[in-house]
Amino acid sequence: FMSAPPSALPSARRPTGLAKVRQVIMKVKGNVLSSTDSSVGQMRLSVLVACVSALQMKSVGRFRLAEDILLAIAIMTALCMHDRPTSMHQLLRSNKPAFGLVVNRRQLCCALDRVLAGEQGTEKLELYKASMCRITQTIAVSYRWQPEGVTVAPGLALNMSMWQLRCLRDVLLASSCPYVWIDKLAVPQAPSSAVEKDAQHKLLSRMNAVYTLATATVALRSQETEGNRYHQRGWTVQEYITPQNLVLLTQLCSAAGGSEVTPESDEAVPSSTSGKGDRACCAVTPNEEEYFGQLRLWYQERVGAHKPYWLYPGLQGSEEELVDVQGLVVELERRGAAQGAGG
């Protein structure tokens, strides 16, 4: 019996390629295939790894053709896999909000097309859990909220102007990222229960990580009245300075106060006034352009030298560094006080 060829061995004792595929898939199923945390890329990779592992244990004889067919089916299945959608309700029930929710880029792009064409947003958008894997394949959006929301899909509205929606649509068309992170869709709004409030608190505290980890951040600096400009809001400070890849779009006004221009550049472009009074309606002032541009450069240069204090017990910042940080805090507070006073 021991000298019998492999094809004569009982099939129950021979580790076939199919059995190897099943073994590997079962090992990753709990962490990858059955989890809403996993992106479609992770799921495909897990199955393909299982198939490659199976190829290392190919059988011979009459079983080989069948196993080749099964492996081909497994590979095709991996390529046809789709993301597992979720909802805010399911995210809250899991008690693991991660970074909130992300939306399907292609679907959102189509929805924005319909809205900009004057049609109703009737197609449902798929939302996914913003896990660590997905957030690194995501476009994050930074913008100034508008008073009124625009419905882009059933039950989903964005507080954006037509200019903001059009710019966002154009960026998404040119991108290959599969996901988009927008605070209005990612974070619970107006929480009523303790679970919602706790999730909102966690997600807001992780927004710095969202803009740092995202593939790119789109900053939409729209025309606003005094006190409401992009750089006059506290939330946008971290959204502007933390991204490594920042796509900056600034809305310009003509002197007559009518036309919209969208410069698509990483370079700072000052906006002109709209003819409604001194700085009555503009996107950014020269002072804001200079100050926040320098603040972004300061942060990007400093972030590479960061060291976690729990790994370096005796580490302390230099006196000069502490003075710099204190000065930045004072200046930001001054700007916030001036904004509150209408200046």
- Per-domain boundaries in the chain: 46-82, 87-224+234-252+283-307
Least confident of 38-42, 82-86, 229-233: 38-42
CA-wise closest residue to 239 among 170, 295, 173, 301: 295
Is residue 199 scored above 70 in pLDDT?
yes
Secondary structure string (H, E, C) spanning 181-239: ECHHHHCCCCCCCHHHHHHHHHHHHCHHHHHHHCCEEEEEECCECCCCCHHHCCHHHHH
Provide DSSP, 236-257: HHHHHHS-SSEEEEE-EE-TTS
pLDDT for the residue numbered 65: 61
Q: Across all residues in the chain, what is the average pLDDT?
A: 75
Average pLDDT over residues 215-237: 91
* Nearest Cα residue to 134 out of 58, 35, 26: 35
- From the CB of residue 112, how many other CB atoms can be counted at a distance below 10 Å? 23
Higher pLDDT, 269 or 113: 113
Across the strands, what pairs with 236? none
**Is pLDDT at 279 greater than 50 in this prediction?**
no
Q: For residue 152, is pLDDT > 80? A: yes
| Helix, coil or strand: residue 259 | coil
Between 201 and 33, name the one with better pLDDT.
Answer: 201
Quickly state the pLDDT bin for 103 (edges 50, 70, 90). Answer: very high
Rounded Cα–Cα distance for residues 108 and 162 (Å): 15
Across 47-51, 103-107, 179-183, least confident range = 47-51
Contacts of residue 196, defined as CB under 8 A and 6 or more positions apart, other chains included, come to: 92, 188
Of the listed ranges 71-75, 111-115, 123-127, 331-335, the least confidently predicted one is 71-75
Determine the number of helices (DSSP H) and then strands (DSSP E) in the chain: 13, 10
The pTM is what? Answer: 0.70
